Chains A and B, each alone.
Chain A
Amino acid sequence: MTPASPCPAELRVGTDLVSVSDVDDAIERFGDRYLRRVYTQRELDSCRMHDGWATWRLAARFAAKEATVKVLRPVDGIAYHSIEVVNDADGAPRIELSGGALARALDVGLHQLSLSVSHDGGIAVAMCAAMIGTHQ
């Protein structure tokens, strides 16, 4: 039997942008249901301000989740919490996968997942890049 050839590594990039005002509106309309459904406790803790929420940071995190989904190209549904944005000690954002997102990442042979986020003018943007498949 001839062993299957390994899939060559492929670079995938995902991008998403979110209007900060959309996050403001969602919090106003749905409050805690929106916040706890979409964001993990660590994400909420990193976006809390003394007088409310740093909604530009929440918007960036949402964009990061969506950008990651575009890289994963899932067949099944993925819970928002299974893609989590955390900060390294130097403040750089990175993605931690769990549950269905992690399972999908393993299925497609994802490695070297990188994230960059930014915000300006009421818009948050995130770009996620990853190598998919095996190196030859």
Chain B
Amino acid sequence: MADRISVIRGILGEHGKLRIEPDDLDVTTNLYGAGLTSHASVNVMLALEDEFDVEFPERLLKRSTFESIANLSDALESLLADA
């Protein structure tokens, strides 16, 4: 879990274009409030798919999935469990 969070932080740092350093974010911090845009969330999604070898299904393509590091981690956990 800690590793997954760390990877998510790294991907947000590279693709999220946030105003705040991802390492300084609490896992429940609203990422949109930290500067995540709708288009940047696409890049984050694609990078997470590459990293974890998963594909976000339609049911997860909603704003709340990308709202926080915790939500992203939960989404990935569900995808990895289904794999």
Binding site for B on A (CB under 8 A): 16, 18-19, 22-23, 25-26, 29-30, 33-34, 37-38, 62, 66, 74, 76-80, 99-100
Contact = CB atoms under 8 A, between A and B. Distances in A.
Interface of B: 15, 17, 37-40, 42-43, 46, 57-62, 65
A38 B45 CA distance: 12
B70 to A, nearest CB: 18
A19 B39 CA distance: 9
Contact of B65 (A16, A77, A80): A77
Q: Which of B15, B42, B59 has the most CB of A within 10 A?
A: B42
B46 A30 contact: yes
Contacts of B42: 26, 34, 37-38
Contacts of B61: 77-80
B61 to A, nearest CB: 4
A80 B37 CA distance: 15
Contacts of A62: 38-39
Contact of A66 (B38, B59, B60): B38
A77 B38 contact: no
B16 to A, nearest CB: 12
B76 to A, nearest CB: 15
Contact of B43 (A26, A74, A77, A99): A26
Contacts of B37: 18, 22
Given A30-B46, A34-B46, A37-B46, A77 B39 contact: no
